[in-house]
Amino acid sequence: MSTPELRADERIDQLYSQDIQIIQSPEVFAFSLDAVLLADFAKLPVRATSQTVDLCAGNGAVGLFMSHQTRGQIAEVEIQPRLADMARRSIALNQLAQQMTVFEGDLADVNQWIPKDSVDVVTCNPPYFEDLPDSQKNPNQYLAIARHEITTNLATIVQTASGLLKMNGKAYFVHRPDRLLQLLQLMSANRLAPKRIRLVHPKPGKEANMVLVEAIKDGKPGGVRFPAPITVYDAQGHYTPEVGALLYGNR
């Protein structure tokens, strides 16, 4: 595994549970726990002919963390050139260039690279906050775009995901609980039937601050399952066994 050339503000971090290395930058983008949780929540077909697409890919974290699940292809779509470049270098760093591809551009234009109705799984860790006139945005444009719906919005993301998926293909999202109703409404309007919803709580006794949602394109209505919620930290401030295993493996 050769070390890529790094910019002055970049470092190489590691997801020890999977032996995946990833190029990060606190000035540009660094993955959070939501990327690890989404990658674990998503279930990819093992077969080599399968196609997975990760929208709003950032520096490629979700796709990299899912790569061990499948022999199929994983495409990452990212609008910010600097982040797309980081993702490409991380793919090379992990020797996954035969499996993973980065498309740089607006996810609304994804069909110039990937045909409609051709994808088995779509994942997305989108910007969480709407771009409202009174929104307090990070002065760092990279971070502002990652957190606020400046270059896309949830409606476009859900419509794009549905358009990519084959019938019975699966979509996986991580978002904020206060936008769950909006996400479910958009799914219903775009032929996506929710099937699994899992809440994530930061600590015991605290309200959920993330939600993971699985949907099936043209799935039958009803039959939604609610697995036991995830709690990130225990009362002593240590990672719970489930989250610790996702980050560091069972050791």
Query: What is the amino acid identity at position 162?
Result: S
Is 149 contained in some domain?
yes
Query: What is the amino acid identity at position 63?
Result: G
> Which residue has 């939604």 as its token pair?
224
Q: Is 49 left (phi over 0), alpha (psi -120 to 50) or beta?
A: alpha
Residues in the chain predicted with pLDDT less than 50, given as ranges, are 251
For residues 181 and 129, what is the distance between their CA atoms, to the nearest angstrom? 14
> So what's the pLDDT on residue 61?
96
Is 3 contained in some domain?
no
Q: What spatial distance separates the first Cα and last Cα of the chain, rounded to whole Å? A: 24
> So what's the pLDDT on residue 30?
86
* Number of domains into which the chain is organized: 1
Is 5 contained in some domain?
no
Query: Which residues lie below 8 Å from residue 34, measured CB to CB, with a gap of 6+?
Result: 125, 174, 210
> So what's the pLDDT on residue 220?
95
CA-based max dimension of the chain:
51
CATH code (residue 123): 3.40.50.150
Is 206 contained in some domain?
yes
Model pTM? 0.94
Residue 184: which domain range? 19-248
Is 60 contained in some domain?
yes
- Count the alpha carbons within 13 Å of 162 in the hemisphere toward its beta carbon: 21
Helices 33-41/241-248 angle, 10° precision: 90
For residues 22 and 226, what is the distance between their CA atoms, to the nearest angstrom? 32
> So what's the pLDDT on residue 170?
98
> So what's the pLDDT on residue 5?
84
Reading the block at residue 245, the tokens are 């295993």
Residues in the chain: 251
Is 4 contained in some domain?
no
Is 1 contained in some domain?
no
Spatial contact of 114 and 169, defined as CB atoms under 8 Å apart: no
3-state secondary structure 27-78: CCECCCHHHHHHHHHCCCCCCCCCEEEEECCCCCHHHHHHHHHCCCEEEEEE
> So what's the pLDDT on residue 27?
87
- Count the alpha carbons within 13 Å of 188 in the hemisphere toward its beta carbon: 8
Is 8 contained in some domain?
no
